[in-house]
Chain A
Amino acid sequence: MNTILTENIGIDNYKYNFRDSEENYVYKAKKGLSKEIVEEISVKLKKEPKWMTEFRLKALDIFYSKPMPNWGNTELLNQINFDDIHYYVKSTEKQGRDWNEVPEEIKKTFDRLGIPEAERKFLAGVTAQYESDVVYHSIREDLEKIGVIFTDMDTGLREYEDIVRKYFGTVIPPTDNKFAALNSAVWSGGSFVYVPKGVHVEIPLQAYFRINTENMGQFERTLIIAEPGSYVHYIEGCTAPTYSSDSLHSAVVELIAMEGAKIRYTTIQNWSNNVYNLVTKRAYAYKNATVEWVDGNLGSKLTMKYPAVYLLGEGARGEILSIAMASTNQHQDAGAKIIHAAPNTSSIITSKSISKNNGRSSYRGLIKVLPGATNCKSHVVCDALLLNTNSRSDTYPTMQVEEQKDVIVEHEATVSKVGEEQLFYLMSRGLSESEAKSMIVNGFVEPFTKELPMEYAVELNKLIQLEMEGAVG
């Protein structure tokens, strides 16, 4: 059965709902988690250095010892059956640098997702991860020549062990939370990016993550190091087919922006709505560095993700722009965290959420100003749009200020429905109700889409339109 299932069927017109055959897979770990599985992944399959194996095993102990979070959507969290997950699935032996080297069936998948085409048009490098491992990887030669490293995390560990060992797990240690511990124990794939001093990577690097297997756990691990004065924009996208039983995606993403460096990290998450998406993302920003998280959550069953920026050096800036769209049976528990740990630091958080058809979206955020962090500014705006009854919107922000000198922390939030007057105005100009609604929703998320590369913005607008057609009538 080498055929791809019909497109555009299934729940909510989810267009990525096609699945591939697993016939030619190289390895699929049996379900469940144990010391043996971790050792098998690390020692036997990946042939990792000893320190990494030890790191994994220690993390596994931490995972076992930590309780499940007692906040957020505990009802859904407690439905996760850790024994019913494949922790490692390898689809192919090879990793291509040319799409022709990628197994035909997997290549077809990424073709359908438009990755090779996008790569030709506007990307500086691409990583494509299928199940647990990266199957395709490329970087423009000119970048490689000036020392930019963009590779998958496993290769990174093999070829740049010194750099990896120095930074891996320093921003998000396994002790941070239960799912960071799980990722640390069983991680596979993800990206390793290193941008040398002063280098500006003007066009984005892109990673694409795809889960195909049912009951799969994908645990990619990404580490981005931007040396002083450098710039990089990294984009990731994620999809999976819809299955009747759930998959788990639990990534750890660590960013380090050295003095004067700038990192922008864009995510368009569109997992099918049987994927648990429990991700830890955190950045360290040193003196005058800037870190921007642009985070779009459209898919998944439950997302719990709060990208963080620790402003550790004077003059550092953090910006988090997030949209969440929660539809039928979805809970988007997304947000942002900023820690002001140095003077003259500033942060902006903009959160936009849309709930419809019994979907629930929550903003959960933290702004903390530590003693000594004088002259800090933080501004948070959360807007929520409710499209019909039965949908739900929550806002759970925390603001802690322990320094007074020239510190301003402001937060505002509004929750509303699509205004009757706005609708009437647009309809009086001849738009149908669903056209009018999707126009208003697109306007609502405009501050987000305008930050995306054009191709993504167009795609996102189309997605919203598709969602809206289902929402009216």
Chain B
Amino acid sequence: MGPNGSGKSTLSNVIMGHPKYKITKGKIFFKGEDITELSPDQRAKKGIFLAFQYPLSIPGVRIFNFLKNMLSSIRGEEIPVSEFKKLLKEKMKLLDIKQSFIKRYLNDGFSGGEKKRNEILQMALFEPKLALLDETDSGLDVTALKTVCEGINKIINNDMSVIIITHYKRMLEYVRPQFVHVIMDGKIVKSGNEELVEKIDSQGYDWLKVSSEEILTTV
């Protein structure tokens, strides 16, 4: 968690390897392996998944083809159509997504809720080892948020780590975090458990600012 502009989305983009960001210092290790120099697709193949805050629309690309190609690529082998269809059907059922959805173009003309649900469907097929959910709750009404979160809960398993980036308590009521970190000015300024969420929800981030400066001076 953290206020606007504190570096949350930057962090997720950097982990995913967005070319816009240059790493000037430090390295990224994933499961003991240095992935700092890897391209985004290589990182994806290692099992890192980013659910975008603003999923892009790519007109003309049908979701079905997109998902099938995505999965084949992740697995490193062509997935047979029949097998994929079965799998897709299963995941769509799990997430309560209508069949007609897959005939549409990727995020083209989608509502905010549809875009986010599409992201979670991708995650379900992807079966990541690390999922970064970047403000998946933004732009969703209460019902949509509930559906999306229920979907996430169904996907999450013991072999998967999830980082949820959010401003609000409401998503965390559905998807319960084990650890809560607060990021400000690009640094983790406070770590704790769910109680920290409660405190931020009632008091905002201001009370952390002082300590943030303290950290800077003591470092």
Whether B56 pairs with A435 at a CB distance below 8 angstroms is no
| Interfacial residues of chain A within 428-444, with CB under 8 A of chain B in the complex | 428-433, 435-436, 439-440, 442-444
A96 located at the interface, meaning its Cβ lies under 8 Å from any Cβ of chain B in the complex: no
- Which of A77-85, A120-128, A197-205, A418-426 participates in binding chain B? A418-426
Interface of A, helix, strand, loop or mixed by DSSP: helix
A427 located at the interface, meaning its Cβ lies under 8 Å from any Cβ of chain B in the complex: yes
Q: How far is the CA of A182 from the CA of B106 in the complex (A)?
A: 48
| Interfacial residues of chain A within 200-221, with CB under 8 A of chain B in the complex | none
- Tally of contacts, chain A with chain B, CB under 8 A: 70
Whether A444 pairs with B73 at a CB distance below 8 angstroms is no
B147 located at the interface, meaning its Cβ lies under 8 Å from any Cβ of chain A in the complex: no
Contact of B19 among A424, A429, A431, A435 (CB under 8 A): A424
**Chain A residues with CB under 8 A of B55:** 425
Whether B60 pairs with A446 at a CB distance below 8 angstroms is yes
| Interfacial residues of chain A within 414-473, with CB under 8 A of chain B in the complex | 419-422, 424-433, 435-436, 439-440, 442-447
B122 located at the interface, meaning its Cβ lies under 8 Å from any Cβ of chain A in the complex: yes
**Chain A residues with CB under 8 A of B50:** 428
Whether B41 pairs with A443 at a CB distance below 8 angstroms is no
**Chain B residues with CB under 8 A of A419:** 56
Contact of B44 among A420, A427, A433, A439 (CB under 8 A): A427
Q: How far is the CA of A447 from the CA of B61 in the complex (A)?
A: 10
**Chain A residues with CB under 8 A of B106:** 443
Closest-by-CB residue of B relative to A445 is: B60
Closest-by-CB residue of A relative to B52 is: A425
**Chain A residues with CB under 8 A of B59:** 443, 446
Q: How far is the CA of A425 from the CA of B119 in the complex (A)?
A: 11
B121 to chain A, nearest CB (A): 12
Contact of B16 among A422, A428, A431, A440 (CB under 8 A): A428
**Chain A residues with CB under 8 A of B19:** 420, 424
B39 located at the interface, meaning its Cβ lies under 8 Å from any Cβ of chain A in the complex: yes
Closest-by-CB residue of A relative to B17 is: A428
Whether A424 pairs with B73 at a CB distance below 8 angstroms is no
| Interfacial residues of chain B within 22-58, with CB under 8 A of chain A in the complex | 39-41, 43-45, 50, 52, 55-56, 58
A443 to chain B, nearest CB (A): 3
Whether A429 pairs with B41 at a CB distance below 8 angstroms is yes
Q: A420-B19, A442-B61 are in contact. Are A429 and B70 (CB under 8 A)?
A: yes
B18 located at the interface, meaning its Cβ lies under 8 Å from any Cβ of chain A in the complex: yes
Q: A420-B19, A439-B66 are in contact. Are A428 and B60 (CB under 8 A)?
A: no
Whether A431 pairs with B41 at a CB distance below 8 angstroms is yes
Q: How far is the CA of A225 from the CA of B192 in the complex (A)?
A: 79
**Chain B residues with CB under 8 A of A421:** 56
B55 to chain A, nearest CB (A): 8
Q: How far is the CA of A426 from the CA of B74 in the complex (A)?
A: 12
Q: A425-B56, A430-B74 are in contact. Are A439 and B61 (CB under 8 A)?
A: yes
Whether B40 pairs with A424 at a CB distance below 8 angstroms is yes
Query: 1/0 per residue B98-114: CB within 8 Å of A?
Result: 00000001100000000
Q: A424-B18, A430-B70, A431-B69 are in contact. Are A440 and B61 (CB under 8 A)?
A: yes
Q: A435-B69, A439-B66 are in contact. Are A429 and B44 (CB under 8 A)?
A: yes
Contact of B41 among A420, A428, A442 (CB under 8 A): A428
**Chain B residues with CB under 8 A of A428:** 16-17, 40-41, 43-44, 50
**Chain A residues with CB under 8 A of B43:** 428
A440 to chain B, nearest CB (A): 7
**Chain A residues with CB under 8 A of B70:** 429-431
Closest-by-CB residue of A relative to B54 is: A421
Q: How far is the CA of A446 from the CA of B126 in the complex (A)?
A: 26
A258 to chain B, nearest CB (A): 35
B27 to chain A, nearest CB (A): 20
Closest-by-CB residue of A relative to B44 is: A430
**Chain A residues with CB under 8 A of B105:** 443, 446
Q: A424-B18, A442-B61 are in contact. Are A429 and B56 (CB under 8 A)?
A: no
Given contacts A427-B44, A443-B58, A446-B105, 7 further A-B contacts (CB under 8 A): A424-B19, A430-B44, A433-B41, A442-B60, A443-B105, A443-B106, A447-B60
Q: Which 4 A-B pairs have the closest CB atoms?
A: A443-B60, A446-B60, A443-B61, A430-B73
| B binding-site residues for A, Cβ under 8 Å | 16-20, 39-41, 43-45, 50, 52, 55-56, 58-62, 66, 69-70, 73-74, 105-106, 122, 126
A-B pairs with beta carbons under 8 Å apart, 5 shown:
A422-B56, A424-B40, A429-B41, A429-B74, A439-B66
